C-alpha cells in the first residue's frame, strides 16, 4: 500500500456516484455482479478519468466493475480509526494497514503521551512575553490563562500527535468523569489541562488508581463540592457534603442496581431490582471525603495554605491533601 491509496480510493468511488452508466445482460446462473472481479457481459462509461501523476495506478472506470476500485481494507481501517481516534491522516491509515489492528493498538499503547498542560504553559508563556515586549502593563495581563488557552492547546496537540488511541479514550472518559468549564473553571485553563492529562494517564491504566487520583484532583474536588468538606459538628448543625459520595457510586463505579456478569439486572426472590446502596451508605461514605483541601498555593497568591482556602488562591494542578483535624473517621 502507498500513501496515494486513499485519494485513489475516493476517486474510484466517486465514479460510482457521478456520471456512471452500467449495462449488463440478464442474470444467469454464473453472471458477474458489481465488484465481482469480472467485467464479462458488462460495459461501463463514465466521465473522463482524472489521474494524478503521484498515483501508481490508473483509476479507470472499469475498476468499479472488476473490484479493483473497491479497496475494502481501506474502508475497514478508516471505520476503525473513526471509532478509535479523534482524527487521522492517510499516513496513519497506512500504518494500520501495515501493522494490523492489534499491532496498531499495541504500538499506540507504547507511544509516549502528548500531554496538554506543557503545551498550554508554553503557549501562555509566549503570549505573556509578547504582551510584555509590546509594553503591556503587567497588571493588565491574565496570569492565569482561561479555558480558551486550554482549547487552543488541546487542538494544537490533537492536530499533530501520534498517540491517537490514548486521546480518543481520554476524550471518552471526559464525557463520563465530567468537569465543566461552564463554571468558575472558565478562568482555570491550567486546571482543565491538568485534569485532562490525568485522563490521558488513565486511558490505559488501572481503574482503581484512576478513581483515587481523580478524587484528589482539585478540579474534581471543587466541581463535586467535596473540597473543604468538614467533619460532623452537631452543635453547629454541620454535616459532611454527600455529593461526591453519591456520584462516585452512582455514576463513576457500581451504579444504582446490582448486575449479573453479562450486564443484565440481578433480581431478588420477588423479581425486584436490588439497589447497590442506600442513604445510610451515602452518609457513611461521605465521611471518607472530609478533610481534603488544596495542596499548594497559586504562585501569585499572598494567602496561607490552610483548610478552607478559596479556589482563587489554589494551584489547581496539584493534588489535594488531607487536613486531619477536619477528617471524620468511622
pLDDT tens per residue, range 272-298:
999 999 999 999 999 999 999 999 999
Percent of the chain residues past pLDDT 70, beyond the cut: 82
Is residue 47 located within the same domain as residue 126?
Answer: no
| pLDDT tens-digit series, residues 205-217 | 999 999 999 999 9
Residue 60 pLDDT: 73
Quote the CA–CA distance of 214 and 102 in Å, as a whole number.
29
Which residue has better confidence, 149 or 66? 149
Which residue has better confidence, 42 or 321? 321
- Which has the closest alpha carbon to 184: 157, 152, 144, 153? 144
According to DSSP, the residues that pair with 233 across neighbouring strands are 238
Residue 163 located in a structural domain? yes
Angle of helix 279-286 versus helix 243-250 axis, rounded to 10 = 120
Residue 107 pLDDT: 98
pLDDT at 39 over 60: no
Residue 263 located in a structural domain? no
pLDDT at 68 over 80: no
Q: 3-class DSSP state for residue 162?
A: coil
Is residue 160 located within the same domain as residue 44?
Answer: no
Is residue 64 located within the same domain as residue 128?
Answer: no
Instruction: Give the other-Cβ count within 10 Å of 294's Cβ.
Output: 27
> How many residues does the structure list for the chain?
330
Residue 71 pLDDT: 72
pLDDT at 56 over 80: no
Joined together, the cell numbers standing for residue 175 give: 464525557
Is residue 228 located within the same domain as residue 171?
Answer: yes
Query: Which domain range does residue 44 map to?
Result: 5-70
The last residue of one of the domains, among 34, 50, 70, is 70
According to DSSP, the residues that pair with 259 across neighbouring strands are 265
Quote the CA–CA distance of 230 and 290 in Å, as a whole number.
5
Half-sphere exposure of 103 (CA within 13 A, CB side): 9
> How many distinct structural domains can be found in the chain?
2
Average pLDDT over residues 146-151: 97
Is residue 222 located within the same domain as residue 309?
Answer: yes
H runs (alpha helix) in 18-116:
62-66, 72-84, 90-110
| Main-chain phi, psi angles of 224, to 5 degrees | -105, 20
Give the model's confidence band at 148: pLDDT under 50 very low, under 70 low, under 90 confident, else very high.
very high
Quote the CA–CA distance of 11 and 69 in Å, as a whole number.
9
Residue 103 located in a structural domain? no
Average pLDDT over residues 8-21: 38
Is residue 159 located within the same domain as residue 46?
Answer: no
Residue 90 located in a structural domain? no
Quote the CA–CA distance of 16 and 43 in Å, as a whole number.
13
Q: How far is CA 57 from the centre of its chain?
A: 38
Residue 150 located in a structural domain? yes
- Which has the closest alpha carbon to 46: 82, 20, 10, 22? 20
| Main-chain phi, psi angles of 31, to 5 degrees | -65, 140
Which residue has better confidence, 86 or 53? 86
Q: What is the mean pLDDT of the chain?
A: 87
Contact 197, 179 (CB under 8 A): no
Residue 66 pLDDT: 66
Is residue 210 located within the same domain as residue 304?
Answer: yes
Joined together, the cell numbers standing for residue 266 give: 440481578
Joined together, the cell numbers standing for residue 281 give: 451508605
Residue 307 located in a structural domain? yes
Is residue 53 located within the same domain as residue 197?
Answer: no
According to DSSP, the residues that pair with 238 across neighbouring strands are 233
| pLDDT tens-digit series, residues 237-254 | 999 999 999 999 999 999
Residue 259 pLDDT: 96
Is residue 320 located within the same domain as residue 226?
Answer: yes
Residue 260 located in a structural domain? no
Is residue 43 located within the same domain as residue 148?
Answer: no
Is residue 57 located within the same domain as residue 132?
Answer: no
Is residue 175 located within the same domain as residue 306?
Answer: yes
Residue 84 located in a structural domain? no
Amino acid at each position: 500500500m502507498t500513501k496515494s491509496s486513499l485519494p485513489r480510493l475516493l476517486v474510484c468511488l466517486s465514479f460510482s456516484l457521478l456520471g456512471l452508466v452500467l449495462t449488463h445482460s440478464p442474470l444467469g446462473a454464473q453472471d458477474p455482479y458489481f465488484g465481482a472481479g469480472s467485467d464479462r457481459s458488462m460495459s461501463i462509461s463514465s466521465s473522463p478519468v482524472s489521474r494524478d501523476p503521484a498515483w501508481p495506478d490508473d483509476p479507470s472506470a472499469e475498476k468499479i466493475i472488476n473490484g479493483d476500485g473497491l479497496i475494502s481494507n481501506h474502508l475497514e481501517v478508516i471505520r476503525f480509526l473513526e471509532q478509535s481516534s479523534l482524527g487521522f491522516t492517510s499516513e496513519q491509515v497506512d500504518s494500520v494497514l501495515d501493522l494490523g489492528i492489534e499491532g496498531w493498538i499495541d504500538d499506540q499503547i507504547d507511544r509516549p503521551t502528548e500531554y496538554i498542560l506543557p503545551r498550554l504553559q508554553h503557549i501562555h508563556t509566549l503570549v505573556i512575553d509578547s504582551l510584555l515586549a509590546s509594553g503591556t502593563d503587567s497588571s493588565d495581563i491574565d496570569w492565569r490563562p482561561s479555558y480558551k488557552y486550554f482549547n487552543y492547546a488541546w487542538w494544537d496537540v490533537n492536530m499533530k500527535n501520534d498517540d491517537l488511541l490514548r486521546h480518543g479514550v481520554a476524550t471518552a472518559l471526559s464525557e463520563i468523569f465530567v468537569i465543566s468549564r461552564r463554571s468558575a473553571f472558565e478562568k482555570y485553563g491550567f486546571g482543565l489541562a491538568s485534569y485532562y492529562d490525568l485522563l490521558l494517564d488513565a486511558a490505559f491504566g488501572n481503574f482503581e488508581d484512576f478513581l483515587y487520583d481523580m478524587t484528589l484532583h482539585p478540579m474534581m474536588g471543587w466541581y463535586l463540592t467535596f473540597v473543604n468538606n468538614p467533619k460532623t459538628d452537631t452543635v453547629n448543625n454541620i454535616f459532611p457534603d454527600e455529593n461526591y459520595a453519591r456520584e462516585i457510586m452512582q455514576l463513576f463505579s457500581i451504579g444504582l442496581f446490582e448486575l449479573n456478569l453479562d450486564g443484565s439486572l440481578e433480581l431478588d426472590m420477588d423479581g425486584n431490582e436490588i439497589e447497590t446502596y442506600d442513604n445510610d451508605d451515602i452518609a457513611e461514605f461521605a465521611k471518607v471525603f472530609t478533610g481534603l483541601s488544596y495542596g499548594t498555593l497559586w504562585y501569585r497568591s499572598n494567602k496561607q495554605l490552610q483548610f478552607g482556602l478559596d479556589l482563587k488562591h489554589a494551584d489547581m494542578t496539584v493534588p489535594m491533601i488531607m487536613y486531619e483535624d477536619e477528617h471524620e473517621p468511622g
